[in-house]
Each structure stands twice: as structure tokens, then as C-alpha cells.
Amino acid sequence: MSIAVRRAGIDDVDAIAPLFDAYRQFYGQPTDVGRARDWLQARLRNDESVLLLAHGDGAPCGFTQLYPMFSSVRTARLWILNDLYVADAARRLGVARALLDAAARFARDDGAAAIMLETGRDNAPARGLYRSAGWQEDASQWYSLPLR
């Protein structure tokens, strides 16, 4: 499979929405392509995220979404790799690695100090992929405060 990754724009939302909907379903959310489309359009329209879209043999097959963050201590921009999804038919063909590499290039070219992600300790395939791509795992723990 020939894989190409590029930064997506507002005109790509219809191509990404079904992938984003499948990603949300993977995490237990009900299917809602309209909601997925609206979310992506709002993020791009408001310049709140960066979407990288992978095409395999010309068809959309995966994406990653990055959100900006800032470090006061480092006085630098950071990027959070928040979403990464590859369609079932394109898994184990190098799409996820191509998306990770493209995200790292984007963050580096943007002058960011780091790019970060979080995944479950039980997600062995993802953790193996991240380690093989040079990502470092640490023992820190993230906490969250549910607001709704």
C-alpha cells in the first residue's frame, strides 16, 4: 500500500468524518457522523487543532488530530497527539507509523518543544508502536476532574 499523509483542511472534513466516527465508536460512543463532522469543522474553522490525513492507495484510511498546549516552565509550545485512528482494512500496513512520523515532523517544524500522547497501559499494540517510533514512556500519572 502506498501511504501519503498531509495536513487536512476544511474541505477534507467529509472524508475524515466517517473515520472520526469509527474512532469514537472504538471508545464506546454511539455512531453519529453528523456530530463527528460538526466537531471537526469547528476545530478547523476555529484553528483549534491540526488534522493529518492518511491516504492509502488514494483512499482516506487514517488520521491523527493534534491540539496545542503551552509549557510555562519551558516557555514553549507543546502538541498533544489526542486522536489517532486507522481504518480496519489499513491496519498493520504502516499507516499508524506514517501518521506518527508526520505528527512529529509537524511539531518539530512548528518549533514545539515536545509532542505528547496518552494511552492505556493495557493497549499493548499501541504502546509497542509508540516505542518503536522513538516515543518514551514514563511512570507519570495524569489525573482528570470530570466537569460533566
Assigned CATH topology for domain 3-132: Aminopeptidase (3.40.630)
| pLDDT in the model for residue 144 | 46
Question: How far lies 17's CA from each of 36, 38, 94, 134, in Å?
Answer: 5, 9, 21, 29
Q: Where are the domains of the chain?
A: 3-132
DSSP category for residue 145: -
What confidence tier does 100 reach under pLDDT thresholds 50, 70, 90?
Answer: very high
Question: Using an 8 Å Cβ cutoff, are 82 and 88 in contact?
Answer: no
The amino acid at residue 26 is F
Instruction: Report residue 96 CA to chain centroid gap.
Output: 9
pLDDT at 142: 54
CA-based diameter of the chain, in Å? 43
Q: Which of 70, 142, 49 has the alpha carbon at shortest distance from 113?
A: 70
Helix (H, G, I), strand (E, B) or coil at 116: strand
Span 122-146, pLDDT tens digits: 888 888 888 888 888 877 655 545 5
CB 65 within 8 Å of CB 48: no
